Amino acid sequence: MKRFLAFLATCATVLGLTSLTAPQAVAAAGCRVDYTITSQWQGGFQGGVKVTNLGAPVTGWTLAFALPDAGQRIVQGWNATWSQSGSAVTAADAGWNRVLATGATVDLGFTGTFTGANPRPAAFTLNGVACTGTIEEPRPTRTTTPPSASTDNCASAASTSATSTTVPSSCAA
């Protein structure tokens, strides 16, 4: 039996199947963000941000996005600790809302100013995970290793009959 398993391992190597890794047993990650401009006036606006966690529960979160127009600025926010550097905006949990269970939402808001246009942000991330509105599933990865000359010799030297498989002793593990 040991020789047969060694033969199968050799065959897998020859076929380039040395490492087929299944997805890790890690909870899927994902989130959805609904961004709204709840009101707007000359040079100012109020924005609403509803974040839904589609992945595993998180304890401690940071939402990040970029305001697309150089003239947009966050003035004041609520239900998060808001900061802005250039166009990059972050909203971190306020402490009392730091746990975000699977399927849970958190409603954030802010007032801001703008000059010229007031376009919506195009992309959001929650703790570094893109908020696409779907769950990001881990995918299996396949790594291939080219067969060595000795592996080719072992595979070609093995013989199989209806009742047994013979592997040269130099190839057996």
Which pLDDT tens digits describe the chain residue by residue (173 residues)?
Answer: 455 545 545 544 444 444 333 332 233 479 999 999 999 999 999 999 999 999 999 999 999 999 999 899 999 999 999 999 999 999 999 999 999 999 999 999 999 999 989 999 999 999 999 999 877 554 455 544 555 544 455 555 545 555 555 555 555 55
Full domain range(s) for residue 67: 29-136
Tally the domains of the chain. 1
Contact 49, 57 (CB under 8 A): no
Q: What angle do CA 62, 134, 119 make, to 5 degrees?
A: 60
Read off the CATH number of the domain in which 95 is found.
2.60.40.290
In a domain, 165, yes or no: no
pTM for the structure as a whole = 0.63
Q: Is residue 8 in some structural domain?
A: no
Q: Does 122 map to a domain?
A: yes
In a domain, 16, yes or no: no
Q: Is residue 89 part of a domain?
A: yes
125: nearest Cα among 58, 61, 48, 43: 61
Look at residue 170 and tell me if it is in a domain. no
Q: Does any domain span residue 62?
A: yes
